[in-house]
Amino acid sequence: MIEDRDYMRQSKYRDPLFHGFRWSWTVVLLILNAAFFVIEWIALFNPHNGLFIQNYLALSLEGLRHGCVWQFLTYQFLHAGLWHLLFNCLAIFFFGRPVEMALGGRRFLALYLASGIIGGVIQMLFALMFQSFDAPVVGASAGAAGLVAAFAVLNWQERFTLLIYFFPVNMRGRTLFWVSVALAVLGILTPNSSIANAAHLGGILTGFFYVRRLVQGRWPQSESHVRRNLPRELAARLKENKLWRSQAIPPAEDLSAEEFLQKEVDPILDKISAHGIQSLTARERETLEKARAKMAKR
């Protein structure tokens, strides 16, 4: 009976912003970025503090040569100005919320920090090769880019609307991903750009491969306990939006009624329980109609 399901007693998927008195990592990251910006702004009234931030906390080849490896973490919470902070926080908020709901708090935080660190590594590799990239780097852009890429993979075939400079643009996740990659590559090829586009590209690729590795398990050793322990709703969503479908998966029409209910319908019921029937996609509604037809034949 539906009352016996775990999600009828306690849903695993609720809005992560407010779950009782526990805040989400999305909110924590927004608060940390804002708090560090205030501290940074106050500190810069003293020129000596400004030099300390640039030499020891911002990411640079010179700092790494002196052993300041912590810069791969600290640079992510510094910003060059209010608009820089605002745009990064908007990206973290709008893309971080759905990604955290899908992956869970720990995986979300690991994705964010790994995107920032790997993005920083890529930026420093470019700085080693090209002098024009050799400048101190600050900002949460690489971590935010990882969240954008993760959102794109999670919604690879889904249509959604983004506000770009206040203009609504309808696109799929795959379009968002390739546009993000193209903009990062174009920025890298643009001479004397003041934007750390190589870090953006590193964050994008990290987000892509993190989610690809975590949920779709398409290369050796990928069927780890992480993938096996994914929430059923997430596994169903990623199966639906899979980039490369396995030919070994039988189509829904070939499944028995019991298998169809277990593999296709149960995750949708989980989603209804967590977010309401209005959260269903057109394909999920179609699946429910197929389930009703199968049940009518029994």
Joined tokens for residue 136: 């101190």
Residue 225 resides in a domain: no
46 and 98 part of one domain: yes
Give the pair of three-digit tokens for residue 159. Answer: 């249509």
Same domain, 140 and 281: no
Helix 232-240 to helix 82-103 angle (10° resolution) is 110
From 164, 192, 216, give the residue that closes a domain: 216
The mean per-residue pLDDT over the stretch 9-24 comes to 48
Q: Is residue 125 part of a domain?
A: yes
Looking at residue 163, which CATH number applies to its domain? Answer: 1.20.1540.10
Taking CA atoms, 223 is separated from 133, 153, 212, 213, in Å, by: 38, 18, 12, 9
Please give the residue that has the higher pLDDT: either 111 or 290. 111
pLDDT at 103: 87
Give the pTM: 0.70
In this predicted structure, the answer to whether residue 149 has a pLDDT above a threshold of 90 is yes
Q: What is the pLDDT of residue 52?
A: 81
- Kindly state whether residues 20 and 119 are assigned to the same domain: yes
Q: Whole-number mean pLDDT of the chain?
A: 78
CA 60 from chain center: how many Å? 26
> Which of 155, 190, 216 delimits the end of a domain?
216
Supply the pLDDT for residue 205. Answer: 97
Range(s) of the domain holding residue 34: 12-216
State how far the Cα of 28 lies from the Cα of 18, in Å rounded to an integer. Answer: 12
Q: What is the pLDDT of residues 79-133, one digit of tens each?
A: 999 999 999 999 999 999 999 988 888 999 999 999 999 999 999 999 999 887 8
Residue 126 structure tokens: 């470019």
pLDDT at position 159 is: 83
Element spanning 211, H or E? helix 197-211
How many domains in the chain?
Answer: 2
